[in-house]
Structure 1
Amino acid sequence: MLITRGTNVDIRTRDNYTALHVAVQSGRASVVETLLGFGADVHVQGGSLGETALHIAASLTTEDATECAIMLLKSGAQPNVARNDGETPLHIAARNPLSSMIRLLLSEGADPKLTSNAGESALHVAARSCNSEAAHLMLEHLLKTLSAAEIKEFVNAKTLEDGLTAVHYAAEITHDQLHSPGEDGRLINTLIDYGGQPEIQTISTLETAMHFAARSGNETVLLAMVEKIGAGAVQIVQNKQSKNGWSPLLEACARGHSGVARILLKHHARIDVFDESGRTALHLAAANGHLQLTHLLLQHKAFVNSKSKAGEAPLHLAAQNGHVKVVNLLVQDHGAALEAITLDNQTALHFAAKHGQLAVSQTLLALGANPNARDDKGQTPLHLAAENDFPDVVKLFLKMKQNNRGVLTAVDLNGFTCAHIAAMKGSLAVVKELMMIDKAMVIQAKTKTMEATTLHMAAAGGHDKIVKILLENGANAEDENAVSEFFFDFFT
């Protein structure tokens, strides 16, 4: 009625949308027909992305949207017009499971080879959206005009920044993205059938599609890849290392995808691959607490005492992160060396203590770990627990030798007891725990070089609460040491 009274059919909103945009968004085919009958401009680009009415129609998932698109195209809408981000209606339609829209756009001249500002073709978008039907329709359409070699080049085209192919996108699909059972398998099979190459590596991270499948945990896609490309190619691809040195097996073990790891191991993936830090798949599985994977790798002859560049064994990493079951598996079932040391002479018990892993510390001690082992600074696990403010772990070590004053007076290479270290680091709870065992020792013990007491160390670190509790328990503020002027200034 307003139009018949002379209202401009293409009047714009503040965002530059017209009534035609709104009618298409609402799926009102009859209104779209009316507006077009009154000469509505199908080329107007509105919104922050600069989208036409055809872009909007392509984003919808009902058959009404296809009907709207048919009318727009008959009225002169361009199927290859790009939004501000470079996406055409075909890019947008590729995200949705409405195959009739894909067929329509292709029949009206939509070009699957056009890329967005990010370098993505509509095939990239279809693969990332797990739209196997859209991918199939586009590739089938290109067969009419391109050679097999040209289609292969198209399928393996990379995005601009990361260098991702459609196969990479398909490989990272997770099960919650499936529109129907087995769609991910159909998609990867289609891409490989048309020349997709899983061995292509990304630009910055040097990851193959197998790395992506290992990370997402998609066993269906991984199986399709290994079955499609043949045994020889599988050996090459599954052992390729990314920039950080990870093979697909390391990726799977870090993420806890035991099913993926089984597939890779069944196809003879190398178990002795080392990453840039010298860590193996077993290191990563143990570090992340993946018990089933740790067991699987050991069954496949992974070396239980393998060392990283820093000298860490899988046991060190399991201990550091508090994985008691993995620790037990490594030591009790597979004979991991309890006293294996890193380059700085730290054992797994050192790692557990300095990271506050009480349960693992208890487990290692029960298995026979040496609580008096010293690292290259002369520090025991007790020293490290004190230094990092873990009073419960400190208490564990003290309980072991309640009647042995030596555990409290043991010094590192700097001549510091655990009390000195706790005071210096501001570990109030640890200082309190130590005082419950031997208050006199905590207050009176002096370092060898400076003859500094625990009070001196707390004062030097500016730890007022520790200074207060030490003074309340008899520490002498006038006790001199080799740098007494500093402490005199602090107290006065």
Structure 2
Amino acid sequence: MGNITKAASRHVGPPFTCPLLCCGQGGTSHREPLYEAIMEDDSSAIRALLADYSVNEPLSVCKEPYIMDLLSFQDHANSPIHLAAKYRKERSLQCLLESGADPKIRNNRGYTALHLLLLNLPRSCTAGASVSDKFQRNQPTLQHNTEKSLRTLHKVKYHINPEMSNHKNDSLLRLGQWSEGFRAISILIKHGANIDDTDKFGRTALHIAAAALDEQATATLIVYGANINFPNPKCGRTALHFAVCTASFKASRILGTNTDCIRLLLNNGAKVNIQDHEGRTAIHEACSGGRKEIVDLLLEHKADVNSLTRDGQSPLFTFLQHRSNLKHTALLNKLLGLSYPLRLRDNQGHLPPGLLFSEFQTLKDCLITLSNKPPSLQDICIFTIRRIYGEKYKYRLKKRLPVIVWNSLYNYEDFSRLWKIRP
């Protein structure tokens, strides 16, 4: 029994390892020694084994069906360099690179060594369980090994932003997002990654963080110098577009998702009136979602409520597109009080779809009447002052203007008195 125990103990390791690994054309004679040498970070043994074995030859799992069923979901490390990267064996990684291992080679899932290194970053476990406690104690060592492995790849002048196509279209940025708080992003940046590199969808790390409304990640990327106004080359949207769009979703509106990430972007220089390829600005997205607090925040930073898309749609038009928005009279009143000239139709002469429902017939008639009515000189002055000073500086004006004048400027007319919307 003792011999059996000892024999079994020699094969303790990751689930798909020693007795099941074989090395392509190299046969079975190298399967255990090469695997064990890599896992033990034994550079001398690796060099000796590579004397008659191609360093880039894939390590494959045996073909027995029952084994493949068990292991196919774990078969990420197909070559020696993939194995070394996955388990952060820095000395093995260095030795393999010096022996001619190609860091750009991809495994059967399209991952490079760098992808696997990021994919298997150590993560914190929930405190309390004994396993978690052990993992927490090992965390500094695992993190240190990860950073050493990244430095090793960097030393050989390996481009740290490889093309990112694989079976899931994962990018380094997406893999980094899996590691809590975008820790991987900071590691990549420290080792030469271009923070504004894009994935195949045109997204930068900041786009991804902003779209997730991840305030911590967004702040970290801004500190590291991410271009806050970088437009996605595919669609022209900036981080602010993505953040506003996510926060304006119906689910976000119902849940009352906070606007801290949007405020962070605005306070750090996000340009509020950048148009995407369709001509939409952040306030078009906010009005489409119907969240007054986001619209107010953008107006504080001088969002242009009269900007038009390529199709001639104003923010008011995008607000009126959605039936659910039309009952938010406070926001509708505000948009009507800021829109000059009042445009209800797009370039094709179409009205917003929301106005076409029979329950909003009275509202539609009133708005058409308002849009056809020439504004008075007083109204033009009011619109102009509101546009110049915006929401941000209106209270400064309050200290300098007579109360009656200020009230005439910023007490928005209650247009809802002109119509009655059935609940």
TM-score range relative to shorter protein: 0.5 to 0.7
Deviation of 1:274 (Å)? 2.7
Letter in 2 for 1:281: A
Tell me the equivalent position of 2:117.
213
Say if 2:176 and 2:184, in contact at 8 Å, map to a contact too: yes
Deviation of 1:238 (Å)? 1.3
Q: 2:79 aligns with which of 156, 165, 173?
A: 165
Deviation of 1:269 (Å)? 1.6
Deviation of 1:169 (Å)? 5.6
Say if 2:85 and 2:113, in contact at 8 Å, map to a contact too: yes
Matches within 5 A, 1:339-354: 339-354=273-288
Rounded to whole Å, the distance in 2 between the matches of 1:264 and 1:405 is 46
Matches within 5 A, 1:103-114: 112-113=21-22
Tell me the equivalent position of 1:66.
5
The structure-2 alpha-carbon separation of the partners of 1:111 and 1:341, relative to structure 1 and needing over 3 Å to count, comes to closer
Rounded to whole Å, the distance in 2 between the matches of 1:264 and 1:351 is 32
Letter in 2 for 1:377: D
Higher relative CO (Cα under 8 Å, sequence separation at least 6) belongs to: 2
Deviation of 1:343 (Å)? 1.2
The structure-2 alpha-carbon separation of the partners of 1:204 and 1:398, relative to structure 1 and needing over 3 Å to count, comes to farther
Deviation of 1:320 (Å)? 0.9
Deviation of 1:338 (Å)? 0.7
Q: 1:329 aligned to 2:329?
A: no
Say if 2:290 and 2:319, in contact at 8 Å, map to a contact too: yes
Q: 1:192 aligns with which of 93, 97, 100?
A: 93
Say if 2:47 and 2:95, in contact at 8 Å, map to a contact too: no
Rounded to whole Å, the distance in 2 between the matches of 1:289 and 1:150 is 49
Tell me the equivalent position of 1:298.
222
Tell me the equivalent position of 2:158.
236
Deviations 1:28-71 (A, max 9, x none): x7xxxxxxxxxxxxxxxxxxxxxxxxxxxxxxxxx79638x79x
Say if 1:358 and 1:393, in contact at 8 Å, map to a contact too: no
Deviation of 1:318 (Å)? 1.2
Tell me the equivalent position of 2:55.
152
Unaligned runs of 5+ in 2: 25-29, 62-71, 123-142, 248-257, 373-419
Q: How many residues align?
A: 324
Letter in 2 for 1:338: V
Rounded to whole Å, the distance in 1 between the matches of 2:115 and 2:291 is 32
The structure-2 alpha-carbon separation of the partners of 1:255 and 1:112, relative to structure 1 and needing over 3 Å to count, comes to closer
Deviation of 1:357 (Å)? 5.1
Deviation of 1:358 (Å)? 5.1
Tell me the equivalent position of 1:14.
none
SS in 2 for 1:391: helix
Rounded to whole Å, the distance in 2 between the matches of 1:395 and 1:361 is 14
Say if 1:217 and 1:257, in contact at 8 Å, map to a contact too: no
Letter in 2 for 1:210: L
Q: 1:415 aligned to 2:349?
A: yes
Rounded to whole Å, the distance in 1 between the matches of 2:262 and 2:221 is 15
Rg larger in 1 or in 2?
1
Deviations 1:434-469 (A, max 9, x none): 96xx4752799999xxxxxxxxxxxxxxxxxxxxxx
Structure 2-normalised TM-score?
0.59
The structure-2 alpha-carbon separation of the partners of 1:157 and 1:266, relative to structure 1 and needing over 3 Å to count, comes to same
The structure-2 alpha-carbon separation of the partners of 1:255 and 1:314, relative to structure 1 and needing over 3 Å to count, comes to farther
Tell me the equivalent position of 2:185.
261
Deviation of 1:423 (Å)? 4.9
Q: 1:316 aligned to 2:316?
A: no
Rounded to whole Å, the distance in 1 between the matches of 2:272 and 2:53 is 59
Deviation of 1:345 (Å)? 0.6
Say if 1:271 and 1:280, in contact at 8 Å, map to a contact too: yes
Letter in 2 for 1:152: V
Say if 1:142 and 1:151, in contact at 8 Å, map to a contact too: no
Deviation of 1:299 (Å)? 2.7
Tell me the equivalent position of 1:201.
105
The structure-2 alpha-carbon separation of the partners of 1:252 and 1:360, relative to structure 1 and needing over 3 Å to count, comes to farther
Instruction: Name the % identity.
Output: 20
Matches within 5 A, 1:453-492: none
The structure-2 alpha-carbon separation of the partners of 1:332 and 1:230, relative to structure 1 and needing over 3 Å to count, comes to closer
Deviation of 1:313 (Å)? 1.3
Rounded to whole Å, the distance in 2 between the matches of 1:280 and 1:312 is 11
Letter in 2 for 1:165: S
Deviation of 1:239 (Å)? 2.4
Q: 1:379 aligned to 2:326?
A: no
Rounded to whole Å, the distance in 2 between the matches of 1:260 and 1:368 is 35
Deviations 1:109-144 (A, max 9, x none): x685357xxxxx977xx8xxxxx8993399998887
Say if 1:385 and 1:394, in contact at 8 Å, map to a contact too: no
Letter in 2 for 1:207: Y
RMSD (Å), alpha carbons:
5.0
The structure-2 alpha-carbon separation of the partners of 1:405 and 1:439, relative to structure 1 and needing over 3 Å to count, comes to farther
The structure-2 alpha-carbon separation of the partners of 1:406 and 1:373, relative to structure 1 and needing over 3 Å to count, comes to closer
Say if 1:239 and 1:247, in contact at 8 Å, map to a contact too: no
Letter in 1 for 2:146: L
SS in 2 for 1:318: helix
Q: 1:225 aligns with which of 149, 163, 167?
A: 149
Say if 2:84 and 2:93, in contact at 8 Å, map to a contact too: no
Q: Structure 1 residues 317-326 or 191-200, which shifts more?
A: 191-200
Matches within 5 A, 1:427-446: 438=363, 440-441=365-366
Unaligned runs of 5+ in 1: 1-28, 30-62, 71-89, 103-109, 116-120, 127-131, 173-183, 448-471, 475-492
Say if 1:94 and 1:122, in contact at 8 Å, map to a contact too: no
SS in 2 for 1:210: helix
Q: 1:280 aligned to 2:243?
A: no
Deviation of 1:327 (Å)? 1.7
Q: 1:400 aligns with which of 334, 346, 352?
A: 334
Letter in 1 for 2:241: H
Say if 1:152 and 1:194, in contact at 8 Å, map to a contact too: no
Deviation of 1:414 (Å)? 2.9
SS in 2 for 1:276: coil
